[in-house]
Amino acid sequence: DAGVIQSPRHEVTEMGQEVTLRCKPISGHDYLFWYRQTMMRGLELLIYFNNNVPIDDSGMPEDRFSAKMPNASFSTLKIQPSEPRDSAVYFCASGRNIQPQHFGDGTRLSIL
Amino acid sequence: AQTVTQSQPEMSVQEAETVTLSCTYDTSESDYYLFWYKQPPSRQMILVIRQEAYKQQNATENRFSVNFQKAAKSFSLKISDSQLGDAAMYFCAYRSAEGAQKLVFGQGTRLTINP
């Protein structure tokens, strides 16, 4: 089975630009998570979905961040406008009920 | 809210020796799951081992085992016969058994294996 697929693997863009990160979860998984990893804050949850419905978005830092899951096989995390402090590694993970979460390889985002 | 603490930012061990990474957590819940994830330089997050809080028996996966002390809220990872490929960041994580499915992570321990 294919794992969680994230794209792009790396993204470098200038401040103020819109950034879109993409994720394809493992087929059959009904939970999808977006995490952010930084040196200062470690790994933190941004938002998670269950059956394509956002359940907890309390970790989304501000209105510049938005996430969607239009269907069971695709999710996006969008930052508009981007700022240098958004630079981080963004992970998508998927899971099924009580099973452990499986992580994608992450997107390293650099905002200049 | 649950918290996870890893008090050792860095650890090192000689190849073939045994090392133990510490993790403590705080929760008022009685049922939950605990995990150790490994993050090598490639950046992947790899599940190492999992423990259900209702199980008294410590989980074991080949060279990896845990010491789960529920009353003390402690969940340490023991790596036996350390290998060069074990070098990585190790993260302890907590997840509720009901309700919120999110993982709460510790700050991580960087493990170095000396040849």
Q: Are B80 and A10 in contact (CB under 8 A)?
A: no
Cβ distance of A48 and B102 shorter than 8 Å:
yes
Model pLDDT, residue A1: 62
- Residues of A with CB below 8 A from B106's CB? 42
Per the prediction, chain B carries an average pLDDT of: 94
- Residues of A with CB below 8 A from B42's CB? 105
> Rounded mean pLDDT of A83-111?
93
Q: Are strands B60-61 and B64-69 parallel, antiparallel or unpaired?
A: antiparallel
- Chain A CB within 8 Å of residue B45 CB: yes
What CA–CA distance (Å, rounded) separates A21 from A47?
Answer: 14
Of B37, B97, B101, the CB nearest to A31: B101
> Rounded mean pLDDT of A77-96?
96
Burial class (CB in 10 A: 0-12, 13-18, 19+), A52: middle
C-beta neighbour count of A42 within 10 angstroms: 16
- Residues of A with CB below 8 A from B37's CB? 103
- Say if residue B102's pLDDT is above 90: no
Model pLDDT, residue B51: 95
Model pLDDT, residue B88: 97
Of B46, B50, B91, the CB nearest to A43: B91
Phi, psi angles (nearest 5°) of residue A83 = -130, 155
Q: Are B83 and B19 in contact (CB under 8 A)?
A: no
- Say if residue A106's pLDDT is above 80: yes
- Say if residue B97's pLDDT is above 90: no
- Say if residue A99's pLDDT is above 90: no
> Rounded mean pLDDT of B11-19?
97
Residue A7 Cα, gap to closest chain B Cα (Å): 14
Residue A57 Cα, gap to closest chain B Cα (Å): 11
- Chain B CB within 8 Å of residue A74 CB: no
Residue A58 Cα, gap to closest chain B Cα (Å): 11
Cβ distance of A101 and B43 shorter than 8 Å:
no
Q: Is B97 helix (H, G, I), strand (E, B) or coil?
A: coil
Model pLDDT, residue B95: 93
Phi, psi angles (nearest 5°) of residue A84 = -55, -35
Note the pLDDT tens digit of each residue in A27-54: 999 999 999 999 999 999 999 999 999 9
Percent of chain A with pLDDT over 70: 98
Model pLDDT, residue A101: 87
Note the pLDDT tens digit of each residue in B29-75: 989 999 999 999 989 999 999 999 998 899 999 999 999 999 999 99
Model pLDDT, residue B76: 97
